[in-house]
Amino acid sequence: MSADARRLRPVDVVIVGGGWAGSIMAKEMTEAGRSVVMLERGADRSTAADGAYPASLDELEANFRYRLFQDLSKNTVTIRNNSQQTALPYRRMSAFLPGEGVGGAGLHWSGVHFRMPPDDLRLRSRVIEKYGRRFIPEGMNLQDYGVTYEELEPFFDKAEKVFGTSGEAYMVDGKVVGNGNVFSPSRSDTFPLPALKDVYTAHLFRKAAAEVGFHPYSLPAANASRQYVNPYGVQMGPCNFCGYCSGYACYMYSKASPNVNILPVLRRHPLFELRPRCHVLRVEKDADGRRATGVTYIDAQGQVFTQPAELVILTAFQFHNVRLMLLSGIGRPYDPVHNEGVVGRNFVYQNVTTSTVWLDPKVETNQYIGAGGGGVAFDDFNSENFDHGPLGFVGGSPVWVNQAGVRAIAAANAGGPPGTPRWGSAWKAGMIDTYRHSLRIDAHGANMAYRDVYLDLDPTWKDAYGQPLLRMTFDWKDNDIRMNRYVVDRIGDVAKAMGARRTHLVRREFGVPFDTRQYQTTHLGGGAVMGEDPQTSALNRYLQSWDVHNVFVIGANAFPQGTGYNPTGMVAALAYWAAHHIRTTYLAQPGPLAG
Amino acid sequence: MQGVAGVAACSTFLSSRMRAATPPAKAYTPRFFDGAEWDFLLAACDRLIPADENGPGALALDVPRFLDMQMDTPYAHGAQWFMDGPFVQGPDNLGYQLPYDPRTLYRRGIAGMNAHAATRHGRPFASLAPSVQDELLQAAEKGTLAFGDIPSRVFFDQLLANVMEGAFSDPVHGGNTRLGGWVMLGFPGARADFMDWVDRYGAHYPLGSISISGETA
């Protein structure tokens, strides 16, 4: 324990981070009769205050002054493209936008809510079965999760019911029940709510994709299509397509968030205590380092406390979980030179490019209408749904129109078609035409894990508390670029079928390094992955540290490689999966759950 | 589904676009920018978003006022950026690495643009012909100038980003006067309820733009 820290009264469970994973774990642990303290470094937040209508619908404050996002002035990361470079601080929000405050990124996310495809969960095995071991490129760390779709299904189902997810099922209990995604696996139940209506651009995309021969389906959205009461008894209102999802607290109580769907119940529970504005510095361990004894944190007044606990659950954002493990000496840090160690290994991102299609100028595409999780997708080139053999790459990409609502500053910055200046009268004409008459199609691809892409602690820069920043070493690799280019060509076919007046296909280019200045997505993953081999995973298949058994680490950090889907549905299911095994096995007999 | 409502809506948008093109009468006295800086901003904003047949320009939208008001916010003091050293320059794709907050970027960038205009053309930026102003802005955008250790591209990108914010953010921030930017674009602002419009495919939305203050166009 730290000598200068005030020692607090012990609790059963301390949870680090008040987002989706933290709120789910806190709910589950209080249900199991355990006392829980949840520490969140940001402010307390609620829809009533942070999603007030109409004042919260302020694009400048929400999307350009980052009202609900991480305070980079206190803590950021450093980034470089390869280990020969000096990593430099990520000083301004741009490529990715991590959250801060109660609800975490779950307050300002969009709401696309997927289950992980069964093949993605055992991607290494599947690729070897289909194409042979030599198909895996040199330097790619392809792995299985160590958990199957069948094992996770009840927890995917539970998360959808808690989130009030809207969608159309394809198959329930092995029987085709609806017009859902033909590539999706069988489910134990339908979605709790019917799919959202298609906005116009999604409607056009659905028609065109089907004409080309693909299999369009409604994106599963944690935006309620109708009024809904979840299993915890909290209510959601029907989404009105207001177009203010990403970056906002939903004023309609339609977008699922920890703040709407879990915390109203948790806050009233006598075993639960939330402490906002408490920044955890490290997990404390006992003398032999085999057991965690609690965490040390600093509050808004600068006072340092140690909170003793029997069980420590890390549920901060992906890279903050990895950093806390590195700062606390939990698990062996990854060494890319010798390819040893696990914490920081298999850091991955999401491989997204967005193409634009211009329609007839008589047609208004009304891009300001939208639901963050709504839209239409096809999965014909996602996961192992297609034959990679002749294509020679690993990974895939769903393709979709996910019109979450394009607002005015974003439209101005997006500008006109390629070749249009960024200002002046030509910009104005091109920008207005683009806003009124175009639509966007994403190739939302997977990013594979590589031996020389990883996280570690930066040797130079420190945060506001004097602790080293996390360092990202990341670049795009040819395998992933080839995958993107193949899938984007298929978007060209769909654009043609839509009767495009003009199409701008955006493909990832070979030799162009990852650019931290351009927004891409906040879907970061890996770095402390789950698996069945302690040589290649920091966590066992129950998301328990292999080395310190009373530390569980829940988040997208557990993904061994990227996936074509958005991460939140998988993170929520993993939280319920881990919680189930903690409740049924670990609490009665604390110790390693796998070994 | 396009019908009578769509036609009526288009004329509503046209008439409010004409209203928005009227320049505001009220004078504004800048608090942060001095006289020479203010002259630069007025001239540069007029080139970046000129008034034309597509709608009002940055001056009618009071973008310079927005910029001056922003200089009073924590953002302009760099409060949202990681501003701890050391400041090491690297490849462009690793992002901004200068020790300057937006206020300093404006002070030095405008001085640099005016100094360049004086050296090259013997007059400050604001006194040059519009075509010459465009050439200087293009040079700054391409990064062919430097203002001390500030590459002109860094200053230009800062200015352009804030000008766009001024023209298209909610009028409560001092720009987008009479919601002219939104009307030009066809953005309804804080309307934020399309339950009854989501499946009116391809039709023009009939209600005008609205600010979070309740001001309508």
Confidence of residue B27 (pLDDT cuts 50, 70, 90): confident
Could you tell me if residue A232 is inside a domain? Answer: yes
Confidence of residue B22 (pLDDT cuts 50, 70, 90): very low
Specify the residue for token string 């060509």: A489
In degrees, rounded to 5, the angle at the alpha carbon of residue A440 between the alpha carbons of residues A435 and A443 is 160
Chain B residues touching A57 at Cβ < 8 A: 170, 189-190, 192, 212
Nearest-CB residue to A73 (from B82, B95, B184): B82
Residue A594 in domain: no
- With an 8 Å Cβ cutoff, are A516 and B93 in contact? yes
List the single best residue of B81, B94, B135, B165 to mutate versus A (max A Cβ within 10 A).
B94
pLDDT tens figures, B62-80:
999 999 999 999 999 999 9
Residue A269 pLDDT greater than 70, yes or no: yes
How sure is the predictor about A3, in pLDDT bands with cuts at 50, 70 and 90? low
The domains of chain B are located at: 4-79+93-185
Between A86-95, A569-578, B26-35, B153-162, the lowest mean confidence (pLDDT) is in: B26-35
- pLDDT tens-digit series, residues A498-528: 999 999 999 999 999 999 999 999 999 999 9
Residue A554's identity, in one-letter code, is I
Residues 87-106 (B) with a CB less than 8 A from some CB of A = 88, 90-97
Mean pLDDT, residues B98-120 taken together = 98
The Cα of B6 is separated from the nearest Cα of chain A by a number of Å equal to: 10
* C-alpha–C-alpha distance, residues A182 and A217, integer Å: 8
Contact A284, A2 (CB under 8 A): yes
Q: Looking at residues A264-280, what average pLDDT do you find?
A: 98
Give tens-digit pLDDT for A200-231. Answer: 999 999 999 999 999 999 999 999 999 999 99
Residue A230 within a domain: yes
Q: For chain A, how many residues are written? A: 595
Res B16 pLDDT > 60: no
Q: Is the pLDDT of residue B161 over 70?
A: yes
- pLDDT for A193 beyond 60: yes
Give the residue from chain A lying closest to B2, CA to CA: A363
Average pLDDT of chain A, as a whole number: 97
Can you count the helices (H) and strands (E) in chain A? 15, 24
Q: Which residue of A has its CA nearest to B211?
A: A54
| CB pair distance less than 8 Å for A73 and B165 | no
Rounded Cα–Cα distance for residues B73 and A149 (Å): 49
Task: Please say whether the beta carbons of A281 and A42 come within 8 A.
Answer: no
List the catalytic residue out of A523, A549, A580, A581: A523
Q: What is the pLDDT of residue A181?
A: 98
Tell me, what's the pLDDT at A252?
97
Mean pLDDT of A276-287: 98
d(CA A548, CA A290): 5
pLDDT, mean of residues A27-40: 98
Angle between helices B130-142 and B35-48 (to 10 degrees): 90
Confidence check: pLDDT of B12 > 50? no
The predicted model gives A230-253 an average pLDDT of 97
What's the pLDDT at A570?
Answer: 98
Residue A2 pLDDT? 53
Does any domain span residue A430? yes
* Pairing verdict, β A171-172 and A175-176: antiparallel
Confidence check: pLDDT of B33 > 80: yes
**Domain-located, residue A471:** yes
pLDDT higher than threshold 50 for residue B23:
no
Handedness of CA A166, A171, A174, A177 (dihedral sign): positive
Question: A5 to each of A15, A223, A297, A307, how far by Cα in Å?
Answer: 18, 43, 9, 9
* Number of separate helices (H) and strands (E) present in chain B: 7, 2
pLDDT class of A19 with cuts at 50, 70, 90:
very high
- A565 within domain boundaries: yes
Question: How many structural domains comprise chain A?
Answer: 1
A108 is annotated as an active-site residue: no
What is the enclosing helix (H) or strand (E) of A351? strand A350-358
Tokens of A557: 């950090």
**Interchain proximity A516–B168, CB inside 8 Å:** no
Of B137, B193, B201, the CB nearest to A240: B193
Measure A139 CA to nearest chain B CA, in Å: 24
Q: List the domain range (segments joined by +) for residue A280.
A: 6-586
- The percent of residues above 90 in pLDDT, for chain A, comes to 99
The pLDDT tens digits for A164-184 are 999 999 999 999 999 999 999
- pLDDT the model gives residue A1: 46
Asked if B186 has any chain A CB less than 8 Å from its own CB, the reply is yes
- How large is the ipTM? 0.96
Helix%, strand%, coil% for chain B, nearest 5: 50, 5, 45
Which amino acid belongs to residue A410? Answer: A
Residue A352 predicted with pLDDT over 80: yes
What's residue A272's pLDDT?
Answer: 98
| Closest residue, chain A, to B196 (C-alpha) | A240
User: What's at A350, amino acid-wise?
Assistant: Q
Could you tell me if B131 lies within 8 Å of chain A, comparing CB atoms? no
**CB contact set of A138 (below 8 Å; sequence gap of 6+):** none
* For range A351-379, the mean pLDDT: 97
Nearest chain A residue (CA) to B197: A369
Residue pair A562/A447 in contact by the 8 Å Cβ criterion:
yes
Question: Taking residues A136-150, what's their average pLDDT?
Answer: 98
